[in-house]
Amino acid sequence: MTLKVCTSLLLLFLVHSVWTRTVRQVYNELDPEHWSHYTFECPQECFCPPSFPNALYCDNKGLKEIPAIPARIWYLYLQNNLIETISEKPFVNATHLRWINLNKNKITNNGIESGVLSKLKRLLYLFLEDNELEEVPAPLPVGLEQLRLARNKISRIPEGVFSNLENLTMLDLHQNNLLDSALQSDTFQGLNSLMQLNIAKNSLKKMPLSIPANTLQLFLDNNSIELIPENYFSSIPKVTFLRLNYNKLSDDGIPPNGFNVSSILDLQLSHNQLTKIPPINAHLEHLHLDHNRIKSVNGTQICPVSIAVAEDYGLYGNIPRLRYLRLDGNEIQPPIPLDIMICFQLLQAVVI
């Protein structure tokens, strides 16, 4: 039970680390003693909560333009409006902005005034999801830590747009129009702190080039990827969560030890074209293989260690760590083979 709790806590930490680090830093900097130095004007279209004087709520107001932002504001909420442009004028006094949410508006690249975003020197979070962008906006604030651009029309990533974003930990580009040609070998150059990269729901046929080495979470679901290059994950030695659901991976598209990677704890290969379970590493904890074309499971073949040794592995405290195995939606008939249970002695759930 102790081991289960510890593992759950580790996974929770990894998933949420991108969010918590910066939020904690921002709140630690808040000093109520300094609030008295600000005037508390509030744009008439917006709401300024007295208990949160650094926040300005202008969401769901039918706005077509960004109102003048008071100097005290750190957190700006403008989602769910009809805003088409981002100009410099509203931000003249807003030199302390940390967080801007512009999701669900009508912003285009032509509507973003040149250089306006890069002038927001203290900005850490920029949300531009569900707009009408056709390329990643540039230039961006150099201190940015999260950039969310999901559900736009992005098909182009300007050269060098990420090169100075050394603090960026999360980049979300899912559900856009990215082709393989948009991701060059230097596209992600400079993202030395990146922890999560989401390129799901695009039009990729190949694994993206030159993923930053510190990436922990790589999401590539809902593309058309057919091939995992040999030794692909050697260049991202820290990758822990890998999602390749809803692609076109077959047995021939996976190298013999393509997923035998010690850093990967959660591997998701659901809704592909696999007929057998690929070799996995003893460190893997969650494996999703549902809705493939697998007809049978042989524990002796897929066990990361020898079955003969696995029975005694508990004596050494070094047994394979697989805890969750999903195989439903294939052509496998129960019962679960005994050698699966012998090999993976920590299994808590098998879905078949």
Ordered DSSP codes for 3-72: HHHHHHHHHHHHHHHHHHHHHHHHHHH--GGGGGGS-----TTSB--TT-TTEEE-TTS--SSPPPPPTT
Q: Rounded to whole angstroms, how far apart are CA atoms 190 and 293?
A: 40
Ordered DSSP codes for 209-269: S---TT--EEE--SS------TTGGGGSTT--EEE--SS---GGGS-TTTT--TT-SEEE-
> Helix or strand or coil: residue 349?
strand
Q: Rounded to whole angstroms, how far apart are CA atoms 298 and 279?
A: 12
Q: Is the pLDDT of residue 37 over 70?
A: no
Band of the pLDDT at 134, cuts 50, 70, 90? very high
| pTM metric for this prediction | 0.87
Band of the pLDDT at 26, cuts 50, 70, 90? very low
Reported as a single tens digit per residue, the pLDDT across 143-168 is 999 999 999 999 999 999 999 999 99
Contact 218, 194 (CB under 8 A): no
Q: Rounded to whole angstroms, how far apart are CA atoms 319 and 312?
A: 9
Q: Rounded to whole angstroms, how far apart are CA atoms 335 and 350?
A: 11
Query: How, if at all, do strands 324-326 and 349-351 pair?
Result: parallel
**Average pLDDT over all residues of the chain:** 89
Closest to 61 measured CA to CA, from 40, 51, 76, 41:
76
Q: Is the pLDDT of residue 5 over 90?
A: no
Closest to 210 measured CA to CA, from 234, 238, 189:
189
pLDDT at 310: 59
| Percent of the chain residues past pLDDT 90, beyond the cut | 80
Q: Rounded to whole angstroms, how far apart are CA atoms 242 and 314?
A: 28
Largest CA distance in the chain: 74
Q: Rounded to whole angstroms, how far apart are CA atoms 270 and 200?
A: 14
Q: Which residue has the tokens 């999901």?
A: 150
pLDDT at 156: 98
Q: Is the pLDDT of residue 29 over 70?
A: no
Termini Cα distance of the chain: 25
